[in-house]
Amino acid sequence: MRALLLLLFFIGLLQGDDKKSFFNFYTEKEYEKSCQLGGKIFYKNRHDENFVQAFGFSCLNVDNIGMIANVPRYLKKTEKTRRNASYFSVIITGKKLLYQGIVDEVDMTGINLPKTDHIISKVFGKLAKKDYTRSGTTYIFNFGKRKVVKVDKLLDKDTYKVIVNEYENNQLKRKHLYW
């Protein structure tokens, strides 16, 4: 019995170390590591809204939107966390609708989502307004004189992926891959 209590105590310490490591990764802007570790310890820490928010933003920073599906569900205690829950929900919904619009070529005209600063939100807003040009399967969205976003679909095995390339002054600045 005593050995079991000691074992449970040390497991509890290790779990605390995981959470501490998670926040260290997050504050050091090692978002890939914090997203991955956060995914492993999410269930144990789902009622800690600071953890849940940091996990959500970590995964957004590395375009791992699939990992944040449960994040909005646990953000409800304060006005700020509810606002962040809405932010995550808009991005998750925007990703799904952008995927459907690009891959399945479903007309998104008339669908209005709240606007955010995330690239998915910006591109979806223009897709829904048909504010783009096409070159083959590539959708081209202009964001001012020097900024262009090109979106295409890629068949990988039997799953389509949506590629969002951000260009500034004709140079690729960032590449996003969603499925």
What is the pLDDT, as a whole number, of residue 179?
83
Phi–psi pair at 86, nearest 5 degrees: -65, -40
Pair 32, 62: CB distance under 8 Å: yes
- The predicted-structure confidence for 96-130, as pLDDT tens digits, reads as follows 999 999 999 999 998 999 999 999 999 999 999 99
Provide the whole-model pTM.
0.84
Pair 46, 56: CB distance under 8 Å: no
What is the rounded distance in angstroms from the CA atom of residue 52 to the CA atom of residue 62?
Answer: 16
